[in-house]
Amino acid sequence: MVSRVIPVEVFDLVIFGGTGDLARRKILPGLYRRFLAGQLPEGARIIGAARADFDDAGYRQFVNDAICEFVKSSRHDKAHIDEFLSRIKYLPVDALGDAGWQGLASLMRPNVIRAFYFSVAPRLFGPLAERLHDHGIADAESRIVVEKPFGRDLKSAKALNAVLAESFDEHQIYRIDHYLGKETVQNLMAVRFGNMLFEPLWNSQYVDHIQITVAESVGVGGRGSYYDKSGAIRDMVQNHLMQLLCLIAMEPPSEFEPDAVRDEKLKVIRALDAPDQQDIVRGQYRSGEDTPSYRDDAENDESTTESFIAMKLGISNWRWKGTPIYLRTGKRLRERTSEIAVVFKDPPHSIFGEQEGRRGNVLVIRLQPNEGMNLRVTIKEPGPGGMRLIEVPLDMSFAEALADGDDIPDAYERLIMDVMRGNQTLFMRGDEVEAAWAWTDPIIQAWEDARKKPVEYDPGGSGPDDSLMLLHRDGRRWREIKA
């Protein structure tokens, strides 16, 4: 079922930052897996570009090592790896200088798709776009893939959009949010809009509330000084959680077409209420028995950056008015897990008596680990004990449901192939990113004005107690953070 591949045309993919961490861990191994799946057409080439002074052979060794480290060993067939490596080239190029650009221009072939992956620091996005344009390397059908973060506020995002727009049309710009490439996220749209079952119930009349949790068990160590300048709201909420929220809350688009989908997502962001400060909890992890505190990780004793955030949001439109959406994300929590839970209201009356209570259904969309969906329904407990009700899951774990669940493509693989097909549905449009920042900026500004410090929380738990209270005071509770 998963092995069916939609062919793409011959391409030249240039990975700027081809020697970096993201290329090594995600992009190159992902391309190899697509090659194994038969999706790289004959003649497709991958060209690494960075300042490091590799030749083709040296870079192929780098790619080989990346495959060996990040692709499972059952896929390490030497003949396949060698064939894949034969499509790899490397060119030293400086995004901020002249070095390498003439060489890149002459390496490009006519009549093949040209895609340029900007897997470099954001300050290089603009200079790369300009040079691609000035050296005539990009044509009208070329695509650029831009990594996150896309700006750090509305002003910088607008400036970046403007710089890119000088050299590329919007239809050529693929702003990547790898959450959108996850199988479950796309399945969310299939479940919502491909079935009659859920959509009639998908509104404030039937949905009590929605919880979106993206929990990580690791701290920020290693990238602490970078993280300290962004915090959970910039690093996670403005992009990933916002995108998930849009897909959950949007109206059905008229067709599954990039702008139709993105128009509907944009409307959700614009309908988001500005949250009350008392509906936001910011936290910072303490040190644990053998783990450093956030401030130690960030190497900043005075840091007021949040490593955890929980918020209650409202959407002012006919569908969702009155249904709160609770978001939470943080580092050093109990488990690494991401899920969306749509909690339906209780039946209006329990025919089984008050003792059995009223039980709402919960649809859980799990992004990681074990991508899948799970609908909790109420049934009678089997056996002769009278009418006792229990909740059981109707489980749809992709790994089990699909013939070769092991082959579910990683988000990056899927998204890179979408770039080659010219399909922008799962990429953020410029106006979406700006709308998300326009919503986020005043929240951050209010913290800065109030000089509010985050509350501390213990590592390995579910975040600050205040976050539990955020739901408790509404008579609700967070789902347990568990893998």
Ligand X SMILES: NC(=O)c1ccc[n+]([C@@H]2O[C@H](COP(=O)([O-])OP(=O)(O)OC[C@H]3O[C@@H](n4cnc5c(N)ncnc54)[C@H](OP(=O)(O)O)[C@@H]3O)[C@@H](O)[C@H]2O)c1
**Dihedrals phi, psi of 59, to nearest 5 degrees:** -70, -35
145 or 281: whose CB is closer to ligand X? 145
The only residue of 9, 21, 141, 406 in contact with ligand X, by rule CB under 6 A: 21
DSSP state of 315: B
Is 286 in contact with 297 (CB distance < 8 Å)? no
Is 19 a binder of ligand X (CB under 6 A)? yes
The only residue of 96, 190, 218, 390 in contact with ligand X, by rule CB under 6 A: 96
Is 394 in contact with 377 (CB distance < 8 Å)? yes
Helix segments in 152-277, DSSP class H: 154-167, 183-194, 224-227, 231-232, 242-249, 258-271
Report the alpha-carbon distance of residue 402 to residue 207 in Å, rounded.
Answer: 29
Task: State the minimum distance, in angstroms, from the CB of residue 223 to ligand X.
Answer: 8
25 or 452: whose CB is closer to ligand X? 25
Which residues lie below 8 Å from residue 123, measured CB to CB, with a gap of 6+? none
Task: State the minimum distance, in angstroms, from the CB of residue 82 to ligand X.
Answer: 24
Task: State the minimum distance, in angstroms, from the CB of residue 120 to ligand X.
Answer: 4
Is 50 a binder of ligand X (CB under 6 A)? yes
Choices 11-19, 322-330, 385-393, 471-479; region in contact with ligand X by CB under 6 A: 11-19
Is 119 a binder of ligand X (CB under 6 A)? yes
Is 62 in contact with 92 (CB distance < 8 Å)? no
98 or 199: whose CB is closer to ligand X? 98
Residues 142-171 that bind ligand X (CB under 6 A): 147-149
Choices 117-125, 248-256, 280-288, 421-429; region in contact with ligand X by CB under 6 A: 117-125
94 or 130: whose CB is closer to ligand X? 94
Query: Looking at 362-408, which runs of residues are DSSP E strands?
Result: 362-368, 372-380, 389-397
Is 94 a binder of ligand X (CB under 6 A)? yes
Choices 115-123, 192-200, 292-300, 410-418; region in contact with ligand X by CB under 6 A: 115-123
Task: State the minimum distance, in angstroms, from the CB of residue 167 to ligand X.
Answer: 17
Is 430 in contact with 161 (CB distance < 8 Å)? yes
Is 129 a binder of ligand X (CB under 6 A)? no
Is 336 a binder of ligand X (CB under 6 A)? no
Q: Is residue 240 annotated as a catalytic residue, yes or no?
A: yes
Residue nearest to ligand X (CB): 20
Longest dimension (CA), the chain: 81
Q: Which amino acid is at 407?
A: D
Closest CA to 97 of 138, 52, 51: 51
- Give the active site residue among 133, 171, 240, 472: 240
Q: Which residues of 450-475 are buried (b: 16+ CB within 10 A; e: fewer)?
A: eeeebbebbbebbbbebbbebbeeee
The only residue of 8, 14, 17, 29 in contact with ligand X, by rule CB under 6 A: 17
Output the CA–CA distances (angstroms, integers) from residue 337 to 87, 297, 453, in the order listed.
36, 22, 26
Contact pattern from residue 390 through residue 429 relative to ligand X, giving x for each residue in contact according to CB under 6 A and a dash for the rest: ----------------------------------------
> What is the contact surface with ligand X in residues (CB under 6 A)?
16-23, 50-52, 93-96, 119-122, 124, 147-149
The residues annotated as belonging to the active site are: 240
